[in-house]
Amino acid sequence: MTKFKAWLNAARLRTLPLSISGIIVGAALGNFYGHQNWIIFILALCTTIGFQVTSNFANDYGDGVKGTDNEERVGPKRALQSGILTRAELKNGIFISIIVDLILAITLLVYSFGTENYPLILLFFALALASVWAAIKYTVGTSAYGYRGLGDLFVFIFFGLLGVLGSLFLFTKFLTLTAILPAIAIGLLSTAVLNLNNLRDAISDKNAGKNTLVVKMGFENGKIYHYVLLAISFVSMVAFTMLNYSSWCNFIHLIIFIPLGVHALRVSKTKEPFLLDPELKKVALSTFFLAVIFYLSFNIFS
C-alpha cells in the first residue's frame, strides 16, 4: 500500500457522510426559517470534515498506541496497527489537520458573523477548539474519555446538538425551541453508530481495558440501549414534523426509519458481536440520507 492510500485509510472516508449529517440538517432548518447561504454551507461542511479527519487520525493513533487495535479487532485494519504509518507520521498528520481545521473554522466564522462581531466569533472559536479537543481526547492520552464510557455523550453533543444547532445559528443568528428535536435525532443516530461499533468490538475492547458503555452494561443490555436510541430519534423527528407540518411531503424523510427498523430486528437476532460489522454502514448511511431527505421534505417538496 502506498503512503497516499495509507493516509486515505487513516482518514476513514466512509465516516464522512455521518459527520456532515448534522450540518445538512442545520442548513435545512436555516432554509426552512428563511435563511440560505451556500458559502456558509460549504465552509461548514469543509470544517466538519476536517474535524472528523482529525478525529480519525487521533483515534487510529490512540487505539494503536494503547494496543486496543490488535488481532482481535473485527473491523478494517488501522494504519498504525498494521505498521503502514509510524507514530511520528500520524502525530504529524494530526498536527497538520488541526492547523487546517482552525483555518477553516476562522474563515467560516469571519464570513458568517463579520469581522465586527467579536463576541460571537470568540464563542464559536471556543467551540471549534472544544471540537478539536474532543476529536483528540477520545482515545489519546491517559484520560481518554472513550476509555471511560463517555464517548456516547460526546458524540451526541458534538454530532447532534452542536452540529445541528451550531450550523443553524451560523445561518440564522438565532435558535428555535423545536430545532432541538432534529438535533436530538441526529445526535442519537450518530450515537447509535458508535454503539454498534462498541457492540461489535465488545470482546476486544474488554480485553484491552477500553471500558465503553457496552463493556460496562454488557452485550445484551447494549442492544436494548441501541433500540432506545433509534426509538427516541424516530419520536423526535415525528414530533418536529407534526409541530411544523404544512404538507404531507414533510413526512417523507420518515421513510428512512423503515430500513432502520429492519436493522433493529437484525441486531436483535445477532448473538455474535463480529456479525454486527455490516450494520455500521447501514445506520451511518441511513442517518446521512435522513438528513438529505429532511432537507428536501421541508424545503423542496413542500
**pLDDT tens per residue across span 265-289:** 999 999 999 999 999 999 999 999 9
Give the percent of the chain with pLDDT over 70. 93
57 alpha carbon, distance to own chain's centre: 15
- 237 and 229 in contact (C-beta within 8 Å)? no
Of 15, 109, 82, 26, give the one whose Cα is nearest residue 55: 15
pLDDT higher for 284 or 11? 284
pLDDT higher for 2 or 191? 191
Indicate if the pLDDT at residue 84 is higher than 90.
no
For residue range 129-164, what is the model confidence (pLDDT) as tens digits? 999 999 999 988 778 898 899 999 999 999 999 999
Cell of 39: 458559502
Of 17, 32, 13, 47, give the one whose Cα is nearest residue 182: 32
Indicate if the pLDDT at residue 83 is higher than 90.
no
Give the count of alpha carbons within 13 A of 213, CB side only: 18
Q: At what angle do helices 219-243 and 180-200 cross, to 10 degrees?
A: 160
This prediction has a pTM of: 0.93
Ordered by start, the domain boundaries in the chain are: 16-299
The mean pLDDT value of the chain amounts to 91
CA distance linking residue 203 with residue 219, whole number of Å: 9
pLDDT higher for 59 or 295? 295
Cell of 61: 493513533
Give the percent of the chain with pLDDT over 90. 76
Average pLDDT over residues 252-265: 97
Indicate if the pLDDT at residue 80 is higher than 90.
no
pLDDT higher for 12 or 268? 268
Indicate if the pLDDT at residue 227 is higher than 70.
yes
